[in-house]
Amino acid sequence: MQYGYFDDRNREYVITRPDTPLPWINYLGCQDYFGLISNTAGGYSFYRDARMRRITRYRYNNLPPDQGGRYVYVRDNESGAYWSPSGQPTVRNLEEYTCRHGLGYSIIGSTYAGITAHTRYFVPLDENLEIWQMTLVNHRLQRASLSLYSCVEFCLWDAQDDATNFQRNFSIGEVEVEDGVIYHKTEYRERRNHFAWFACSEAVDGFDTQREAFFGPGRGWDRPLMVEQGQSANSIAHGWEPIGSHRVSLRLEPGETRQVLFVLGYHENPADRKFDPPDSQTLDKRTVRPVIARYRNAGAADRAFDCLRKYWNGLLDICQVETPEPHVDRMVNVWNAYQCMATFNLSRSASYYESGIGRGLGFRDSNQDLLGFVHMAPERARARILDLAATQLPSGGAYHQFQPLTKKGNNEVGSGFNDDPHWLILGVAAYLKETGGWGILDEPVPYDSEAGSEEPLYGHLQRSFHYTLERLGPHGLPLIGRADWNDCLNLNCFSETPGQSFQTTTNKDGKVAESVFIAGLFVLAAKEFAEIARRRGCTSEAHQCLEAAARMTESVRKHGWDGAWFVRAYDDFGRKVGSRECDEGQIFIEPQGFCVMAGIGLEDGRARHALDSVRQYLATPHGIMLQQPAYSRYYLHLGEISSYPPGYKENAGIFCHNNPWVMIAEALTGDGDAALDYYLRINPSARETISDVHRNEPYVYAQMIAGRDAPTHGEAKNSWLTGTAAWNYHAVTQWILGIRPDYDGLRIAPVIPGHWEGFWAHRNFRGVSYDIRVHREGPGNRVSLTVDGQPLADNLVPPPANGRAALAVDVRVG
């Protein structure tokens, strides 16, 4: 069953009914000002940091669900009827409801009582504001007399405080209203120099800023008293709950179309020019007035929208493909790339599953996200790498998370996740391969954000690498610390106290529990680092890295192989995790994918063997489960993992993040059929027709799909902000389609299914446009290339020596 369809030409997903199984959302904004918007206009906005600069209020996990957002009520002044064209918060029998989620914008609307109303929501580039551009059409035979009511609820900036500290919050709210513009200035009197404003393109007939006055006692979003009565109270909020609502009257002749714009913005004043006059408490509006004036006008909004479209199209056009598989094309060309930008922008902070107050930017997560967007935003990738590295600790370890506004490591979570440092190496390697920008390695970067501790980025990579060598366990495998990639495998935390954090309550000395996954990650990172070192002229260092990788490989062969697959870990008692010897949790996906990606077992058949075991024990039609058998009960010594009921999350859920590791591993062993088969099992577009089972958005990946042991097998959760986006994009573009940036050029090594006759791809790489045509000539994966008609010796296309801006690459596979 479907709830909409892909409009591929317009790069939109069109939802055709408001009652999707869950809110299906989109993101507005891509620089500093962000918003989340659901298909019924729910959601909220913030400036840079979803916790510390929350502009509008949203209540997670509420009932009814998904209330609070960017709402406009339409009221028919003759009948008194009123409705929400976006399907919420009033629920009516709407005609022609559609929500078009596009790239950085959503257009939501419907027809009701002869009035069509659609609102285009977007954030213009380089501005800290959002535009709600509403188009109304009167299809009636008579003139319509309407009132429009906008409404947002302001959040008092710090979203955590806003949801908890009511003894204070109910007394601090302050607003100003001038020329129909509502200014929200809570806490501006003290240390803030920012405020929010909410304007309308039309002269307003009334307004409200006090929530209770607008809604009336005991009422909710679905029945605001002022709308019901066709009035406004012109309330000024003093404490309690500030809102912003305009009332606009419209007369529409039969057939007439009108546009009305509402604009919500964030503005900062210089610290010494907060008030006007300076000794007053009145907002200085001199710098914000011109911004407001500019966007109260539909022409300016249209131009801003065109720029936004060009921006997104420009990013996506960097890599475009045409293959025999429409689900590949759609995800690679539009949605997966778009999701990669969202995960870059927001890391794991704000989605419909991440509340924006819990997690800042993850060190591990943000480094992996680079894999998915570095080709679209190399400059921003560079800046992100430097920010991440600046939170690294002198030990080479890393704060697990940092807040984007302060860019400082998060002390509450701390460090000690022993995989973290290696992701920096992989992230930097991806950046170097894409851009050739070797200068980044010489950038001075501090440790722990301490001025004076700067060292070239290269030194940070050295410390990342040595971090593991200084922390080896009894089997010569890396000690796991608080957790590795699997945040829920907490082998050093034995807390019996309900509610204690699995990750931060570390109460073992951590000298025994080891991770085979980190061993694989280490070998892969060591190979990358050796290559970087060699190219920097540090040959003996490169050599030492490779020796360390070889020693680690040997430890994995001796102590990390279970007979038919790679072991997952050793626990604090030195017992195996992820082995035939275990009662449950005998085989885990992570080491199978990652050890093979690191090249372990490719030569002696173990790689194939491990992948066959994955197929036999872990694969389901909905994707590959994280482990089997699921833990049926709680095992204290394993940490959070078995806290989940079987089939969910890390306890045998289908973690879409690590499925692509197996796809890459399959491609490395030459099995393009298996790689694509796994790819399609979790590809959201390929699951569109089972939207009633999958339930999450069919245009973006979710972190998790319930595994075979769950009563809801096949149901996705936690969409949008997940490493799944980057890894699937990386797997399909670089390992299945095989278009792979490398230090010395663009490598082209497709491992595609046997039945594919070929495909076409366009890729911009270091300023050169590659037109790539792949033809299958035989059943294998051997590649022969010609570039502009000239045969090449191997599969690497070097940058054109003659300064040409476009190359035609012909690829024969067989």
The number of angstroms, rounded, from the C-alpha of 459 to the middle of its chain's C-alpha atoms is 29
Shortest separation between residue 525's beta carbon and ligand NOJ, angstroms: 16
Which of the residues 573 through 592 are near ligand BGC (CB under 6 A)?
A: none
The residue range among 314-322, 358-366, 405-413, 581-589 that interacts with ligand NOJ, by the rule CB under 6 A, is: 358-366
Q: Is 487 in the site for ligand BGC (CB under 6 A)?
A: yes
Residue in 53, 100, 211, 348 binding ligand NOJ, rule: CB under 6 A: 348
Residue in 422, 649, 713, 730 binding ligand BGC, rule: CB under 6 A: 649
Measured over all CA atoms, what is the biggest interatomic distance in the chain, rounded to whole angstroms? 85
Q: What would the DSSP string read from start to end of 609-646? A: HHHHHIIIIIEETTEE-SEESPP-S--GGGGGGGGSPT
The span from the CA of 448 to the CA of 389, in Å, is 9
Shortest separation between residue 770's beta carbon and ligand BGC, angstroms: 37
* Identity of the residue, 190 or 412, whose beta carbon is nearer to ligand BGC in the bound complex: 412
* Identity of the residue, 323 or 410, whose beta carbon is nearer to ligand BGC in the bound complex: 410
**Identified catalytic residue from 49, 162, 487, 742:** 487
**Quick check: 44 and 57 in contact, CB under 8 A?**
yes
Residue in 531, 650, 671, 742 binding ligand BGC, rule: CB under 6 A: 650
Residue 174: DSSP 8-state:
B
The span from the CA of 548 to the CA of 470, in Å, is 12
CB proximity list for 460: less than 8 A, separation 6 or greater: 389, 392, 396, 424, 445, 447
* Identity of the residue, 150 or 659, whose beta carbon is nearer to ligand NOJ in the bound complex: 659
Which one of ligand BGC, ligand NOJ, none is in contact with 364 (Cβ closer than 5 to 8 A by kind)?
Answer: ligand NOJ
What residue is closest to ligand BGC based on CB?
487
Q: Is 487 in the site for ligand NOJ (CB under 6 A)?
A: yes
Residue among 129, 144, 110, 182 at smallest CA distance from 258 = 144
Q: Is 488 in the site for ligand BGC (CB under 6 A)?
A: yes
The span from the CA of 713 to the CA of 711, in Å, is 6
Q: x/- string (CB under 6 A) for ligand NOJ, residues 617-656? A: ---------------------------------x------
Q: Is 486 in the site for ligand NOJ (CB under 6 A)?
A: yes
Q: What would the DSSP string read from start to end of 421-444? A: HHHHHHHHHHHHHHH--GGGGGSE
**Quick check: 723 and 369 in contact, CB under 8 A?**
yes
Which of the residues 243 through 282 are near ligand BGC (CB under 6 A)?
A: none
Q: Strands, E, within 340-412: which ranges?
A: 361-362, 401-402
Instruction: For residue 487, indicate whether it is catalytic.
Output: yes
Q: Is 354 in the site for ligand NOJ (CB under 6 A)?
A: no
The span from the CA of 751 to the CA of 749, in Å, is 7
* Identity of the residue, 606 or 649, whose beta carbon is nearer to ligand BGC in the bound complex: 649
Which one of ligand NOJ, ligand BGC, none is in contact with 684 (Cβ closer than 5 to 8 A by kind)?
Answer: none
* Identity of the residue, 20 or 490, whose beta carbon is nearer to ligand NOJ in the bound complex: 490
Cα within 13 Å of Cα(226), Cβ side: 28
Shortest separation between residue 181's beta carbon and ligand NOJ, angstroms: 40
Shortest separation between residue 723's beta carbon and ligand BGC, angstroms: 10
**Quick check: 418 and 481 in contact, CB under 8 A?**
yes
Q: Strands, E, within 16-163: which ranges?
A: 25-28, 33-38, 43-47, 54-56, 71-76, 82-83, 95-101, 105-112, 115-122, 129-138, 144-157
Q: Is 365 in the site for ligand NOJ (CB under 6 A)?
A: yes
Q: Is 571 in the site for ligand NOJ (CB under 6 A)?
A: no
Shortest separation between residue 306's beta carbon and ligand NOJ, angstroms: 36
Torsion over CA: 710, 713, 718, 724 (sign) = positive
Instruction: Give me the active site residues, please.
Output: 487
Interacting residues with ligand NOJ (CB under 6 A):
348, 362, 364-365, 485-488, 650
Interacting residues with ligand BGC (CB under 6 A):
487-488, 503, 640, 649-650
